[in-house]
Copies of this chain bind each other. A is one copy, B any other.
Amino acid sequence: MRRILASALLGVVVTAPGLRADTHRFVPTQFYTTYSFAHPPALRIKPGDRVITETVDAGGANRLGQTLTQGPNPQTGPFFIEGAEPGDVLVVRIEKIETNRTTAYSGSLLAPYSVDPASIAARQDREPKRVTWQIDRAAGVARLDDPDVRPALTLPLRPMLGCVGVAPARKEAITTPTPGAFGGNMDYAGLTAGVTVMLPVNEPGALLFIGDGHARQGEGEVVGTGLETSMDVEFTVDLIKKTPASWPRMDTDTHLMVLGSARPLLQALQHATSEMLRWLMADYGFSERGASAFMGQALEYDIANVVDPNFTVVAKVPKVLLPRR
């Protein structure tokens, strides 16, 4: 095996005899806490390429529990996709997300805006204590056995990425707790291996960032965290040239999805719903009234998070309900 140092600052690109030319092993050494056009590309890749890499946890700790960098949500990347230009859509297929250590942490109090203010005022124990879960990959579960948290909990692993984003539009630099039209910290429990994420490109090369792996997360992320841990991640990229898209979209085995992010919560839903209308009209042969009548009876929603600076709502259309064409 031969190692080539791409950059002492940005990461290590590993090559090996068995590795195809379109596959990149990238070990990050530099991480970012803003989504921004201003960060130098860590790796340049082409449409069709595969990247094998890893993410540190939301606090900056890696597979060994070593804190490599400061949080929140340090990002691996940015990956510069050759040929990506503003007006294109970047397609990121998530091939693998796997926990790579034996612990995760989470919050243990319901976050401020997720509950009635009166229930915050009535809370007896207000200490925002972190708790540590044990990850048992063989059994496929995470376990929490903490004296303050009764009863003990065992929950199936469902690894996901809290953050997949590109450089924002209009030269904004946005901190990594924040989701938006550029993706970012959407904290959607459905962003697992096997899904395809589509993001509007705002800058040449798109500048793809990933991070904030969760071994599992409930909808809403109501304790302010998932099961925060480091991850091994593989993804492939592609481009859809010159296609208007205003919000991140996902394509899964079962659903078309749009992820809208904003405050208030209703506005996140409005963005997702409006964009789904446009998508069905542009790509699935619906008239405006046809898409509307269909969505009225076929739409589903997930509430990804209600704890980040913007909340995220996912509008979903089950593919099985789409008219045959």
Question: Which residues of A come within 8 Å of B, CB atoms?
Answer: 33-34, 36, 38, 106-110, 112-121, 123-126, 129, 131, 142, 144, 146, 148-156, 170-175, 216-227, 262-267, 269-271, 273-274, 277, 285-290, 292-303, 306, 311, 313, 321, 323, 325
Chain B residue numbers with a CB within 8 Å of A299 are 218-220, 222
Contact between chains at B117 and A297 (CB < 8 Å): no
Flag if A114 contacts B323 (CB, 8 Å): no
Question: CB distance B124 to A288 under 8 Å?
Answer: yes
Contact A303/B306 with A149-B293, A289-B108 known, Cβ cut-off 8 Å: no
What's the Cα separation between A223 and B295 when bound, in Å? 8
Contact of A120 among B117, B144, B285 (CB under 8 A): B117
Q: Which chain B residue has the least Cβ–Cβ distance from A325?
A: B151
Contacts of A113 in B (CB 8 A): 117, 266, 270
- Report Cα–Cα, A314/B121, bound state, in Å: 23
The answer to whether B222 touches A34, judged by C-beta atoms less than 8 angstroms apart, is no
Residue in chain B with minimal CB distance to A216: B297
Q: A108-B296, A117-B120, A218-B298 are in contact. List 6 more A-B contacts (CB 8 A).
A: A38-B173, A113-B117, A115-B277, A149-B293, A227-B297, A265-B266
Cβ contact of A34, chosen from B142, B171, B267, B302, cutoff 8 A? B171
Residues of the B chain whose Cβ atoms lie less than 8 Å from the Cβ of A285? 150-151
Cβ distance A132 to chain B, nearest Cβ, rounded Å: 11
| Shortest CB distance A325–B (Å) | 7
On whether the beta carbons of A106 and B293 are closer than 8 Å, the reply is yes
Considering residues A107, A224, A273, which has the most beta carbons from chain B within 10 angstroms of its beta carbon? A273
Q: Report 28 cross-chain contacts, Cβ distance below 8 Å, ordered by A residue.
A: A33-B170, A34-B170, A107-B293, A108-B293, A110-B273, A110-B296, A113-B117, A115-B270, A116-B271, A120-B120, A120-B121, A121-B126, A125-B289, A144-B293, A146-B293, A150-B285, A150-B290, A153-B293, A153-B294, A155-B298, A172-B174, A217-B296, A218-B299, A219-B301, A223-B293, A269-B306, A301-B301, A301-B302
Residues of chain B with a CB closer than 8 A to A151's CB: 285-286, 290, 323, 325
With a cutoff of 8 Å between Cβ atoms, the chain B residues found around residue A106 in the complex are 293, 296-297
Q: Is the CB of B123 within 8 A of A223?
A: no
Q: Which residue of the partner chain B has the closest CB to A107?
A: B296
> In the complex the two chains form, is A118's CB within 8 Å of B112's CB?
yes
Of B142, B219, B294, the residue contacting A300 (CB under 8 A) is: B219
Are A154 and B116 interface neighbours, CB within 8 A? no
Residues of chain B within 8 A (CB-CB) of A114 are 269-270, 273
Residues on B with beta carbons closer than 8 Å to the beta carbon of A222: 273, 292, 295-296, 299
List the 8 shortest-distance A-B pairs measured between CB atoms, nearest first.
A223-B296, A112-B117, A173-B173, A264-B264, A218-B299, A150-B287, A301-B303, A265-B266
Tell me, rounded to whole Å, the shortest Cβ–Cβ distance linking A192 to chain B. Answer: 14
A149 to B7, CA, bound (A): 56
